[in-house]
Amino acid sequence: MRLYLASTSPARLALLRSSGIEPVTMAPGVDEDAVAAEAARQSGAPLTPHRVVELLARAKAEAVSVALRETGTHGDGLVLGGDSVFVIDEVIYGKPHTAEKARQRWQLQRGRTGQLFSGHWLIEHSNGQAGRAVGAVAVADVTFADDIGDDELDAYIATGEPLLVAGAFTIDSLGAPFITHIDGDPSTVVGLSLPTLRRLVTRLGHSWPSLWNRGPAS
């Protein structure tokens, strides 16, 4: 069973590879801000973190499913979309994109605990057509060290790593030493909860080992 990953995230790709899965990665090309803004306009109220990540994960998976049909890809497979946001003080934070915003967020979250929401949407794709779909959201609490110096933050931000990840931090790379505790599935914080994905695969009637296509030494 082939897994199509509607993401170009190196972290999600590395996580799947470490679990024995070599996915086909495809950029979904979704304007996340526009999709979320339109959904909020239609609902007449701000979106909850749960709704944001579910909505964007679905939009990405559906975009790649359409691309598979348009390119004439007829092989069986599962299309996975994902999205993550970080929440602290009931405020939703996505990717900061700039060093200034990343620094502001770290000054806010240093020594505190926030929640990382990761949305998943899985579409069954067969004979060039999208079929059944299932989704789920995983949540993990993340606690940051309270003794992180400004010089450490400046050095970390200068690497560019926190600019393109939700919450301006990672747990699988340079940001890991600044995190003291995680309550929940750690892979959720990477941006893809493996236990959640396994449950979704099972709900569609497939075996998790059927996705294994790479050995541990690959």
C-beta contacts of 32-35 below 8 A and 24+ residues apart: 32/56, 32/59, 32/83, 32/94, 35/59
Cα 59 to Cα 37: distance, rounded to the nearest angstrom: 13
Determine contact, residues 189/176, Cβ cutoff 8 Å: no
Q: 83 catalytic, yes or no?
A: yes
Residue for token pair 């973190």: 49
Cα 122 to Cα 134: distance, rounded to the nearest angstrom: 5
Q: What are phi and psi of 56, to 5 degrees?
A: -75, -35
Catalytic residue selected from 76, 83, 141, 154? 83
User: CA 213 → CA 26, 73, 191, 208, 216, distances in Å?
Assistant: 18, 19, 21, 11, 10
Residues labelled as active-site residues = 83
